[in-house]
Amino acid sequence: MNAPRRPPGRAVDGVLLLDKPLGITSNAALQSARRAYNAIKAGHTGTLDPLATGLLPLCFGEATKFAGELLQADKSYDAIIRLGVTTDTADAEGQVLETRGVAVDLVQVEAALNRFRGEILQVPPMHSALKRDGKPLYEYARAGIEVERAARRVSIHEIRLLAFAADTLTIAVDCSKGTYIRTLAQDIGSVLGCGAHLAGLRRTRIGKLDLAAGITLAELASLSVPERDARLAPVDSLLMDLPAALLGDVDSARLAHGQPVRWHGPTDGRLRAYGGGRFLGLCLITPEGYLTPRRMVAEVAYAQGNAGSA
């Protein structure tokens, strides 16, 4: 009898802060990085359009259990806005709908940006993955059908003008989840009275993860296997917005076996648990004062975590 075949690849655990290049999908970038690591299991934490570059955290092995955590995180972008041209997708990939002259000055631009600081209402674009009656909006858009979309409340924590020349603005935006930067670009153009679309986008931050620590696919390909492994952030780097619980050996063992343990801290929310300097996983705090395992890492994937940064 033949022995069962092992799955191909390596058991790699951690988070790669990829600087995604222009013109490829997030999935294509993921598969390239996965091949570089020869990793058995990989996933991303939310996509970037092919038009966009910048921070794309990729999860390997046990880190894939926590990939959804960043979907709720605040994000930062540098965006290039082309004034005077509107498109059907609100970005540079769409068909031009209208071209107008641009006659705005710095004072008008700053005043327009100021209108978008704070909590605002955004109507999601038709060319988006949001669903209506079980079908993504972009499918309706491709069929030439426009459906009604309810405005959604999002927060623009900060918006800064980086450059302004002729018909082009470059801005930096710190925003909440669910913010569409191309819709923001389109709305800025409407306020200025000349129309606009998003000409370029670079994501610079997600939660506490920063593009400054990122690496390109070309740089990754030039490294040796040990050097590539050294570029992986620990699994718990996806959970740095949560408080940490430092547990003793007995409580750590109980959690690892799926059992709740007594907790003397806050009685609501979630936290990241550590035992013996190792990251154990994500726990829920019950009103009765217990930590209950929510999503735990496999013992073989335990690694030195970031408990000291709690």
Instruction: Report residue 278 as tokens.
Output: 């190792």
> Which one-letter amino acid corresponds to residue 191?
V
In the chain the first and final C-alpha atoms are separated, in Å, by 52
Residues with a catalytic annotation lie at 49
- Phi then psi for residue 262, to 5 deg, are -65, 140
Instruction: Report residue 255 as tokens.
Output: 């959690």
Separation of alpha carbons 160 and 49, rounded Å:
23
Residue 151: which of 124, 126, 177 has the closest Cα? 124
Separation of alpha carbons 33 and 214, rounded Å:
13
Q: How many CB atoms lie within 10 A of CB 215?
A: 16
